């Protein structure tokens, strides 16, 4: 048994650790944690994180907060041109 998969998953966090010291505030750190979580969730659902984040950023400005769960990785269909 080995832990190569776990080590690879944590590598991006370890590489960014020094940069994360300069997020500017506690709120900046919380935002970074949210982005890491979204990217990790997209990867776990076999979704291209870059395509997922691009689609969310296209939609989020006009999307009602009460339906924010529609923007989660498993609710978006990135194969279609329209998304949600």
pLDDT (0 to 100) of residue 84:
41
Give the whole-angstrom CA distance, residue 20 versus residue 34: 13
How confident is residue 66, by pLDDT bands cut at 50, 70 and 90?
very high
List, for residues 5-55, the tens digit of each pLDDT value.
777 777 777 766 666 666 677 777 788 788 888 888 888 888 899 999 898
pLDDT (0 to 100) of residue 83:
42
Quote the pTM value. Answer: 0.63
pLDDT (0 to 100) of residue 1:
65
Contacts of 72 (CB under 8 A, 6+ apart): 41
Q: How far is CA 17 from CA 22, 49, 62, in A?
A: 9, 20, 33
Residue from 84, 27, 20 nearest 52 by CA: 84
For residues 46, 48, 51, 54, the Cα torsion angle rounded to the nearest 10 degrees is: 90
pLDDT (0 to 100) of residue 18:
66
């Amino acid at each position: 048994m080995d832990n190569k998969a776990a080590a690879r998953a944590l590598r991006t966090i370890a590489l960014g650790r020094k940069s994360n010291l300069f997020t500017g505030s506690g709120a900046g750190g919380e935002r970074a944690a949210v982005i890491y979580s979204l990217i990790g969730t997209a990867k776990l659902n076999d979704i291209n994180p870059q395509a997922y984040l691009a689609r969310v950023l296209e939609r989020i400005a006009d999307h009602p907060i009460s339906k924010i769960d529609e923007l989660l990785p498993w609710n978006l269909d990135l194969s279609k041109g329209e998304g949600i």
